[in-house]
């Protein structure tokens, strides 16, 4: 889910077809076409789509929703397909807006998702001249606790992934300035309904689901133990490390070791809540500043217990997001994307949730 979209591979949209998708699914090839693009597809250029940001009023009191309206318009002569996750079609599921207060970045407090690879249903199509308009509440996903003048901009990179080539452009809106009176977080406290030891369940988890979650937590704990055993060994550029975290450095090794020590400690000693209320097609999500609650979604229940994109691995992924654990981001998703990131940017790989998951799952086995 991301502190800043600039430089991330998070806007995935092409004209006329789906592209190599989003979050890790086994093999993580394009569901439309094995080489990552549907036949005849063209890359979406930033000039094909324009974005306008507006607000109905210039000042929002603490008791009012701080709403802005985002309009995406297809200015080209051909239809374009956009991955819904990185549009406001279903709200702000990602950090689509750059929000600043007195020139300082405002924290994105929204959920960080793990999703299956994108399929056709995850795209929307805009005909030539057609617009998508949505009004969104900033307070749901940004920290608006301070009073002041906020500057807002919609800003996302276009990105086509096709083999080893990548070509990016920036899709951005006009700036909007609004005065917002500080308010409390929009996130309500979780309603915990049952408790088993240090593990709580909410969202009406069934008895069967609770048993599955306990097995998944045990699997995740075992993965964390295995990862720590590896990282407590002699630091070196072995394939397991370099595949997921890039070129060896003593500093990078120490970072990975610190992260997995915190992940292991969280699974072993912290009070974890798992919520079963999510009905989205995703695997899971968390709010990084609200440890240690993990919301599991539909894809979680059909994932294998261990192995690539597993139940146990999903919990590792989500646990790493918590600020008090490893504070990871979602720079790229899927094994192919993570391997490429390790080669191009080891620093980001060490900050990437899926990279931690695949290191822990260790499938295929690497020494």
Active-site amino acid positions: 318
CA-CA distance, 311 to 40, in Å (whole number)?
36
Asked whether 148 and 180 are in contact (CB, 8 A), the reply is yes
Tokens of 333: 């998703």
Of 87, 69, 76, 77, nearest in space to 13 by CA:
87
Look at strands 165-172 and 176-180 and give their pairing.
Answer: unpaired
Of 52, 50, 47, 41, nearest in space to 14 by CA:
41
* DSSP structural state of residue 8: S
Interaxial angle between packed helices 353-361 and 334-344, expressed in degrees from 0 to 180 and rounded to the nearest 10: 110
DSSP string, 130-164: -EEEEEEEGGGTB---S-EEEEEEEEEEEEEEETT
């Amino acid at each position: 889910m991301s502190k800043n979209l600039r430089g991330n591979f998070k806007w995935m949209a092409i004209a006329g077809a789906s592209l190599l998708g989003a979050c890790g699914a086994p093999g993580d090839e394009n569901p439309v076409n094995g080489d990552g693009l549907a036949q005849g597809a063209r890359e979406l250029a930033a000039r094909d789509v324009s974005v306008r940001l507006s607000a109905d009023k210039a000042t929002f009191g603490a008791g009012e929703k701080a709403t802005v309206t985002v309009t995406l318009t297809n200015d080209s002569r051909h239809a374009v397909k956009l991955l819904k996750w990185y549009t406001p079609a279903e709200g702000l599921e990602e950090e689509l807006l750059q929000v600043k207060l007195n020139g300082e970045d405002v924290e994105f407090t929204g959920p960080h998702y793990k999703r299956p690879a994108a399929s056709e249903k995850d795209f929307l199509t805009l005909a030539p001249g057609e617009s998508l308009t949505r009004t969104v509440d900033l307070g749901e996903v940004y920290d608006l606790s301070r009073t002041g003048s906020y500057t807002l901009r919609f800003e996302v990179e276009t990105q086509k992934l096709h083999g080893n080539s990548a070509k990016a452009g920036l899709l951005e809106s006009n700036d909007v300035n609004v005065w917002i009176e500080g308010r409390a977080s929009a996130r309500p406290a979780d309603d915990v309904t049952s408790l088993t030891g240090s593990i709580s369940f909410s969202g009406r988890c069934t008895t069967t689901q609770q048993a599955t979650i306990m097995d998944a937590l045990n699997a995740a704990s075992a993965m964390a133990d295995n990862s720590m055993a590896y990282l407590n060994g002699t630091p070196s550029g072995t394939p397991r490390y370099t595949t997921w975290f890039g070129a060896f450095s003593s500093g990078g090794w120490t970072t990975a070791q610190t992260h997995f020590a915190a992940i292991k400690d969280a699974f072993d000693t912290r009070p974890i809540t798992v919520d079963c209320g999510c009905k989205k097609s995703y695997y899971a999500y968390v709010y990084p500043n609200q440890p240690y609650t993990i919301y599991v979604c539909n894809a979680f229940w059909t994932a294998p217990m261990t192995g690539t994109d597993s139940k146990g691995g999903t919990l590792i992924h989500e646990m790493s997001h918590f600020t008090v654990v490893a504070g990871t981001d979602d720079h790229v998703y899927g094994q192919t994307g993570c391997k490429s990131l390790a080669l191009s940017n080891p620093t980001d790989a060490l900050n990437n949730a899926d990279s931690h998951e695949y290191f822990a799952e260790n499938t295929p086995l690497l020494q």
